[in-house]
Amino acid sequence: MPLTSDGSMTLSSTRVRLALLALALGGFGIGSTEFVAMGLLPNLAQDLLPGVYAASPDMANAQAGWLISAYALGVVVGAPTIAAAAARWPRKQLLLALLGAFTLGTIASALLPSFETVLVARFLAALPHGAYFGIASLVAADLMGPGKRARGIALVLSGLTIANVVGVPIITWIGQTSGWRVAYLVVAGIFALTAAAVAIFVPFQAGNPDATMRAELRAFRRLQVWITLGIGAIGFGGLFAVYTYVAPLVIEITGLSAAAVPLVLVVVGLGMTVGNFAGGALADWSVRRTMYIAFGVLIGAS
C-alpha cells in the first residue's frame, strides 16, 4: 500500500483511487477553462467586441484570441512563481488554495462586463494552472509509489485530456445555446466540486521545509532546464496555434455549421486522451524514447 508523505499510515486502494480521481477532476476543470474559449471564440468576439465583429468577424476573432493568449501568459507567470514561493506549504493546503483561486478567477471571467476586464480575469485565472499540475503530479506520483510514478502523473493529466472529449464539447454547446458566460459559471462549479473532493479524499502531504524561493529558482541557471522548457514550449506552441482557432477553421474554412465544432473537439480530445495514457505507460519504460516516439507522431500527423 502507498504511504502518506510522513510514512505514518497506509492508504487503502480505494482511498488512493478516490484521491487520484479528485486530482484528475481538477485537471478536468483546467482543461475545460483553458480550451472552452477555443470553441466559443466567435461567441466571445461577438459579445465582447460587437463593433469590431460587425465590421469584420475575422478581425474580431483574431482580437478575441488575446483572451487565450492572456490565459497562456498567466500560466507562464504563475507556474514558477507560485511553485517556488509556496514550496514549503503542505501540498493539500496549497492545492485547495489554488482551486479557490481558479473558482474565483473563473467566476470573474463570467461576470465582468468588458473585453478588457475579462482579459485581465483570464490572466489572473490562469496563474494557478501550472502550479496545480506540478503539485498534483507530485501528490499522485507519491500515491502510486515507485515504478508507477509516471502513470500517476498521467492520471492527473488525464483529467485535462478527458475534458477535451467530454467537458469542452458539452460546455461549448452550453455556451452556444445559453451564452458563454453560463459556460464559464459551469466551469467555476467544476472547480468548487474539485476543492470539496480534494478536501475529503487527498491525504496530507508535507511541503519541503528547507525550500526557499532563491533555491527553487536556482534551477534556471542550468542550460539543460532551458532546453527542456524550450522543447515543451515549441511543441505546445505549434499545437495551440492550430487549436486556438479551431472554431473559425471549422465554420469558415471547412464550411461546417457551428454545431460541428463540439464534434471536432471530441475527436481532438480522444487523440489527446489516448496519447496521454500511452505516454504515461511508456514513460515508466523510457522517458527519452517516449519523447522521440511522441514527437515523431506529432510530426507525421502534421
pLDDT tens digits along 73-116: 998 888 888 877 877 888 899 999 999 999 999 999 999 999 99
Contact 40, 172 (CB under 8 A): yes
pLDDT class of 246 with cuts at 50, 70, 90: confident
For the segment(s) 13-301, the CATH number from 1.20.1250.20, 3.40.50.150, 1.20.120.790, 3.40.190.10 is 1.20.1250.20
> How many Cβ atoms sit within 10 Å of the Cβ of residue 254?
9
Whole-number pLDDT of residue 213 = 64
Determine contact, residues 174/186, Cβ cutoff 8 Å: yes
What is the pLDDT confidence band of residue 6, given thresholds at 50, 70 and 90? Answer: very low
Rounded to whole angstroms, how far apart are CA atoms 298 and 290? 12
| Residue 158 scores a pLDDT above 60 | yes
pLDDT of 260 over the 80 cut: yes
Closest C-alpha to 272, from 162, 189, 138: 162
Pick from 98-112, 177-191, 196-210, 276-290: least confident:
276-290
Is residue 58 predicted with pLDDT exceeding 80? yes
Q: Which of 15-29, 80-94, 157-171, 242-256 has the lowest mean pLDDT?
A: 242-256
CA-nearest of 162, 243, 170, 182 to 43 is 182
C-alpha cell at 25: 477532476
What confidence tier does 4 reach under pLDDT thresholds 50, 70, 90?
very low
SS (H, E, C) the chain: CCECCCCCCECCHHHHHHHHHHHHHHHHHHHHHHHHHHHCHHHHHHHHCHHHHHHCHHHHHHHHCHHHHHHHHHHHHHHHHHHHHCCCCCHHHHHHHHHHHHHHHHHHHHHCCCHHHHHHHHHHHHCCHHHHHHHHHHHHHHHHCCCCHHHHHHHHHHHHHHHHHHHHHHHHHHHHHHCHHHHHHHHHHHHHHHHHHHHHHCCCCCCCCCCCHHHHHHHHHCHHHHHHHHHHHHHHHHHHHHHCCHHHHHHHHCCCCCCHHHHHHHHHHHHHHHHHHHHHHHHHHCHHHHHHHHHHHHHHHC
